[in-house]
Amino acid sequence: MKTNSIFLGVVLLALPSMTFAQKGTSDGSKYGHGEDSIRCISNLNMMVQYSKQKDYASAAPCFEIVYAECPKCSKNVYINGAEILADQLSKETDAAKKEKIFDRMMKLYDDRIKYFGRDKKYDKYYIMGKKAADYIRYVPESKNDPNKEVAYNWLGEIIEAKKEATSATVLQQRFYLSANLYQNNKDGFRDKFLSDYLTVSGYISEKMSALPENDPDLPNYQGAKADIDQKFASSGAADCKTLDGVYGSKIEANKGDKEFLNMVLSLYALADCEESSTYFKAAAYKHKIDPSASSARGLASQSIKNKDYNKALTYLNDAINLETKNSEKSKLQYIVATIYRDMKNPTAARTAAQKAISFDRTNGKAYLLIGNLYVTFNNDISDDAIIRQTSYWVAVDQWEKAKQADPSVAADANRLINKYKPYFPAADQLFMRNITKGQSFTVPGWINEKTTVK
């Protein structure tokens, strides 16, 4: 009995020292305990410091320890770990070894999602975006994925979950991959490519409309929109002849399919093909089974083609009332403005263009239109020819705003500015009218807009 008691006492005394050193992977803690926790914290700190200095070779052994022994200790394990593995990929020349490093990188992102996927700021979908970016950048040929379809699908999952909250980078990358897939399989992937464009460009427009003017993210979305629009325009997928060839024979068979008809109407509107008989036919079927903004817009386009402007305005107002997205309301109001312009009613045209801007301040075309109204309809603002030329000042003001609001119209804005600046009233002519450069001046007549004398 005495021997057994002594043995039990030795075991009990030894237990604290046996459990004192324990890894985070063993007990589920962040750092582990005892000597193992000190080892974890020490290597974590060294990894971070070496990584800050971009000394990834020295950071790598530290990373291996913390990743293996205390993977829950810090997001830096995964942030710096991705940098370390990227450095190794850039230096490795052996294809088999590169593939192993790449596989580790992908698993690293999976583990970050496992341990930190509920982070409020950098959640699961943020991590998936980083993973997709590195997949696109580093996927080896051995994976047999030349079009990066794996990353394409990941990005689609992010967009489906985040919608208009998706980052500009993710939206842009998704469309780029979609464009590549389309170029390699035009017949088989065309419908998906067109659908991707509608989704991506729609979310970008919504985000741009919602962001404050001074938001640092706004230029990212503006740049992404201009880039995506340019790539889409040059893809050849959305010219009127192609769209008619793809959808012309499908309308009758799908005349009761609301989703199909909505997609057709959206594509034709984006491609400026609203005078197509296919577009009118789709609009009529859609309006019959389910009146919507897109179907009303289609009927408005048909009325415009027939120069029945009053009926067109009625349909457009219906479309605006039925539309839920401010970016689309803005486009519809812009069309209203162009109709009033064609009806030679500049006051109503300007009011409609201003409403377009109120729905979406990035609608650069609306600013361009207002400027054009000022130079086109300035004949009756004054009997004095020099005063009539002051309309060019406020026109240039609008074109400058257009450039700031929407970089995609900058070329048109600059062309108009360069065209009309030479016609600014001369200083001596202004002096004779008691007007001096730099003072405040209100352009008279229906324009009635204040500017600075230029």
Query: Quick check: helix, strand or coil at residue 452?
Result: strand
Higher pLDDT, 88 or 306: 88
The answer to whether 391 and 374 have CB atoms below 8 angstroms apart is: yes
**190-203 pLDDT, tens digit each:** 989 999 998 998 89
pLDDT digits (tens, 9 = 90+) for 261-291: 988 888 888 788 888 999 999 999 999 999 9
pLDDT above 50 for 233: yes
Taking residues 419-446, report their average pLDDT.
94
CB 371 within 8 A of CB 419: no
Residue type, 337: A
pLDDT at 24: 59
Q: Residues 303-357: pLDDT tens digits?
A: 998 899 999 999 999 999 999 999 999 999 999 999 999 999 999 999 999 999 9
pLDDT digits (tens, 9 = 90+) for 157-205: 999 999 999 999 999 999 999 999 999 999 899 989 999 998 998 899 8
Per residue in 40-62, pLDDT (tens digit) is 999 999 999 999 999 999 999 99
- The 10s digit of each residue's pLDDT in 371-406 is 999 999 999 899 999 999 999 999 999 999 999 999
Nearest to 403 by CA among 352, 451, 365: 365
119 vs 116, 155, 171, 217, 333, CA distance in Å? 6, 19, 22, 21, 41
Which helix (H) or strand (E) element contains residue 451?
A: strand 449-452
Residue with tokens 């989704």: 199
pLDDT of amino acid 27: 73
Extract the tokens encoding 130.
Answer: 């980083």
* pLDDT score, position 22: 63
